[in-house]
Amino acid sequence: MLTDHLTRQFAFVTEIDRLKSVLRQTDLIDGSRRENTAEHSWHVCVLAMALHEHAEAPRPDLDRVLRMLLLHDVVEIDAGDTFAYDTVGYEDKAEREAAAARRLFGLLPVEQGTAWRALWEEFEAGVTPEARFANAVDRLLPVVQNFAAGGGSWTRHGVARSQVLRRVEPVRDVSGTLWAYVAALLDRAVERGFLGDA
C-alpha cells in the first residue's frame, strides 16, 4: 500500500517534468529564448516572497500562496499556455484546464490529489486573499520582465499600456503601494517606447 502511494507520488513528479517544455509568450530578459512555465512558476514564487510585505489586509498567508503558485500552471501540461491578450484562446481555456487538473492531480494518491486540485481551483476562483495575491504577482511578473528586457513580448505583439493596465488590475486590489509603483513603471515603459501609448 505504501509502495503504491509512493509510486503515485513519483509518477506525478515525473509527469510534471513536461511543464519545462511548455513555452510562454514572455522571453528571458536577455532575449535569448522564450521562457517555459516551470521556470516561470519558480520565478513567480520568489516574486511573491519578495512582495508579500506590501499586501494589504486581509493579509494573505504566504505559505498557502507559495503552494498555490507552485501548482497554478501545472494544468498547462495538457492545456497549453494561453497568451494573455489572445481572446480566442480564452474561450475554452477553463474547460481544457479543468480536464487537465482532473487527469494530472488524479495521478497522486487520492487524498493528496484532491487537496492539491482544491488549491488549484481556489487559485482559479480568485476569491480568497491568497488566490488574489497569487493572481496579482502572476500578472505582475511579465511586467517586470518586459520592462527589464526593453519591451520583450509587448513589442513583439504591439501591446499598449491600457491593455497591460487592465491585465494587472488585480495588483490594485492587493496593494495600493505596488499599484502606484507599477503604474509609474508603465508610464516609463511608454516614454521609452517599450509599450504603445494607448
Residues contributing to the site for a copy of itself (CB under 8 A): 2-3, 6, 9-10, 12-14, 16-21, 28-30, 32, 35-36, 38-39, 41-43, 45-47, 49-51, 53-54, 62-63, 66-67, 70-71, 108, 112, 141, 144-145, 148, 177-178, 181
Comparing CB distances to a copy of itself, the nearer of 89 and 155 is 155
Residue of 137, 151, 142, 156 whose CA lies nearest to 190: 151
Q: Is 186 helix (H, G, I), strand (E, B) or coil?
A: helix
Residue indicated by cell numbers 513567480: 44
**How does DSSP classify residue 10?**
H
Smallest separation (angstroms) from a copy of itself to the CB of 197: 22
Smallest separation (angstroms) from a copy of itself to the CB of 59: 15
Q: Supply 169's cell numbers.
A: 488590475
Number of H helices, E strands in the chain: 11, 2
Comparing CB distances to a copy of itself, the nearer of 88 and 111 is 111
C-alpha dihedral, 47 to 53 to 54 to 56, nearest 10°? 120
Smallest separation (angstroms) from a copy of itself to the CB of 20: 5
Residue of 188, 52, 65 whose CA lies nearest to 123: 65
Q: Supply 16's cell numbers.
A: 510534471
Smallest separation (angstroms) from a copy of itself to the CB of 40: 8
Smallest separation (angstroms) from a copy of itself to the CB of 92: 27
Q: Supply 176's cell numbers.
A: 495600493
